[in-house]
Amino acid sequence: MEHIVIIGNGIAGITAARHIRKNSDKKITVVSAETKFFFSRTALMYVYMGHQKFEHTQPYENWFWDKNKINLKEGFVNTIYTDKKLLEFKDSSTLSYDKLIIATGSKPNKFGWKGQDLEGVMGMYHKQDLENLEKHAPNKEVCKRAVIVGGGLIGIELAEMLISRKIPVTFLVREDSFWNGVLPAQESKMISKHILGHHIDLRLNTNLKEIKADKNGKVTSIIIEETGEEIECNVVGLTAGVTPNIDFIKTSKIETKKGVLVDRYLETNIKDVFAIGDCAEQREAIGQRRTIEAVWYTGRMMGETVAQTICNNKTEYKPGHWFNSAKFLDIEYQTYGWVFSERDKQENETYFQWQHPKENKCITISYDVNTHKFLGINTFGIRMRHETFDKWLTKNKSIEYVLEFLADANFDPEFYKLHETEIVAKFNQENNTSILLKKKSWKRIFTKA
């Protein structure tokens, strides 16, 4: 029986294992150095905040793996011998495979800051990071202040975690407005304001110079690059993005760049060795996507795809239209298609924007200035239907069409106040058009693309 070994039990590796099991009776072993059982990394924050217990982050009960004959092996892979098709572990034990899937995910970026490896300095990615945070920041008495470095999605989540225990947070962000390399100014401004509203000490245009420690090597303060200001703190969160977790592969014959290089079938330069999820790097970008995508659902999709290939149905990795979502404290965010920030958008791309006068709600629709083709939407505080936008993107609909049928796309809970009328009115006023908003139609919603 063919033996499939998967290194990494995150969403990519586990999805691959599940789909291989669905489609075959191959022997499957999943190796992990982090935890025995699969858990949802995105939920770690909720454990610290007390919304959940760790067990709630595990999507499958513990008997699931035995029942589905998926072997779980705890261990840290030191070396991959591709010639012998053999893995060697830290404890010198070995495991041979017929096909290997590398799904080792990411690790937090460290940019060579002085003091970046001190006690009390941590990322927020692994289960061990959570344990570390629980140790150094159990409450506001032990941790009098925390400093977070890097204004991305993990940074704001870490800030939310800490303030849930009333720990004062200073948030260092390199940009002049929160996440404005990705978000249009309107939205970046709204989120920045919201962060301040939660009493987080947000420092824009600010970089970290160094982290200082006491004689025991424990964090005591940080120094700001621009002003030289020293901020006392007990915890430093490094959340300036992530990078593929592939150090142990560098010694093997598997070709790597920033990540493990793969072709469109997610296979590496070595036959029978695949890489999926955060650690995989496409040789050429697919559409406007980045070559490395550290996103939950792309890990899942690569797992789904590689399982097909391994089960003798060679399948190209074809991620569809870009989408994503996040939550910034109390503000939900979804995006479908491409909306780039002012910094990154091309000349042909232009925005239509609407913002609620009082509440934290706004949208940005990006469209082609010449053809009026709809390119993408960012929506804050309003939920929208993935299926509907996916269909519109596939059909190359115009912005006028999207606005006319915007009611079909609303996904807010029942009885919520709808804003489509105001949105369309604003577009009509700005563009001298007379689009009439159509009523929501189930028939249209359910018509497949």
Partner 1 sequence: MKFIKNTGLIIFIIGLSVFTASIFTGSFSLTQQELEAFISDKGYKSKILKKELSKAIVTTDNINIFQFSSKVTAAFETSNTYYDVQIEKYGAEKNWAKKSEQYAYKIFGKPHSLSYELAKKSGKGFIKDNPGLSWFLTFGLGIIGALMFILPNLILLGKSGIKNDGIHQESATNRGWIAWLVLVYLVTFYLVLYFRPDYVVNWTFIFDPISNFLNGGEASQWFVYGFLYCTIMLVMGARMYIKYRHNKYQIIRTTSVLFFQIVFAFLIPEIMTSLNMPGYDFKSAFPLDYDFFFEWNIESLKNSGGIGIFILVWGIVLTLVIVPVMVYFFGKRWYCSWVCGCGGLAETLGDPYRQNSDKTLKSWKLERWLIHSVLAFSLLMTAVTLYCYFSGTQSFLGIKSQWIKDTYSFLVGAWFAGVIGTGFYPIFGNRVWCRFGCPLAAYLGFVQRFKSRFRITTNGGQCISCGNCTTYCEQGIDVRAYAQKGENIVRSSCVGCGICSAVCPRGVLKLENGPEDGRINPTEILLGNDIDLMSLINKK
Binding residues for partner 1 (CB under 8 A): 11, 40, 42-43, 46-47, 49-53, 56-59, 61, 164, 197-198, 296-297, 300-301, 304-305, 308, 313, 315, 318-321, 323, 325-327, 329-330, 332, 334, 383-387, 390, 411-417, 442, 445-446
> How far, in Å, are 155, 188, 219 from residue 143 at the CA level?
17, 29, 11
Q: Which is nearer to partner 1, 206 or 334 (CB)?
A: 334
What residue type is 214 in one-letter code? Answer: D
> How far, in Å, are 361, 423, 424 from residue 430 at the CA level?
19, 11, 10
Q: Which is nearer to partner 1, 112 or 413 (CB)?
A: 413
> How far, in Å, are 72, 77, 87, 89 from residue 96 at the CA level?
15, 12, 6, 11
Q: Which is nearer to partner 1, 96 or 288 (CB)?
A: 288
Q: Which is nearer to partner 1, 268 or 335 (CB)?
A: 335
Q: How many C-beta neighbours within 10 Å does residue 214 have?
A: 12
Alpha carbons 66 and 349: distance in angstroms, whole number: 52
The minimum distance between CB 6 and partner 1, in angstroms, equals 17
Give CA 442 to chain center in angstroms: 32
The minimum distance between CB 293 and partner 1, in angstroms, equals 12
The minimum distance between CB 112 and partner 1, in angstroms, equals 31
By CB atoms closer than 10 A (0-12, 13-18, 19+), residue 434 is exposed
Q: Which is nearer to partner 1, 306 or 365 (CB)?
A: 306
Contact 412, 385 (CB under 8 A): no
The minimum distance between CB 215 and partner 1, in angstroms, equals 33
The minimum distance between CB 414 and partner 1, in angstroms, equals 5
Q: Which is nearer to partner 1, 313 or 346 (CB)?
A: 313
The rounded radius of gyration (Å) of the Cα atoms in the chain is 24
What residue type is 304 in one-letter code? Answer: E
Q: Which is nearer to partner 1, 208 or 365 (CB)?
A: 365
The minimum distance between CB 167 and partner 1, in angstroms, equals 12
Q: Which is nearer to partner 1, 15 or 256 (CB)?
A: 15
Q: Which one-letter DSSP state was computed for residue 10?
A: S
Alpha carbons 310 and 420: distance in angstroms, whole number: 46
Q: Which is nearer to partner 1, 217 or 320 (CB)?
A: 320
Q: Which one-letter DSSP state was computed for residue 417?
A: P
The minimum distance between CB 412 and partner 1, in angstroms, equals 8
Contact 39, 54 (CB under 8 A): yes
Q: Which is nearer to partner 1, 383 or 426 (CB)?
A: 383
Residue 407, both tokens: 């009611």
Classify strands 349-355 and 362-368 as parallel, antiparallel or unpaired: antiparallel
- Residue of 161, 154, 135, 125 lying closest to 8 (CA atoms): 125
- Residue of 377, 289, 399 lying closest to 333 (CA atoms): 377
Helix (H) or strand (E) holding 223: strand 219-224
The minimum distance between CB 366 and partner 1, in angstroms, equals 19
Backbone angles phi, psi at 220, to 5 degrees: -125, -30
The minimum distance between CB 190 and partner 1, in angstroms, equals 13
The minimum distance between CB 162 and partner 1, in angstroms, equals 11
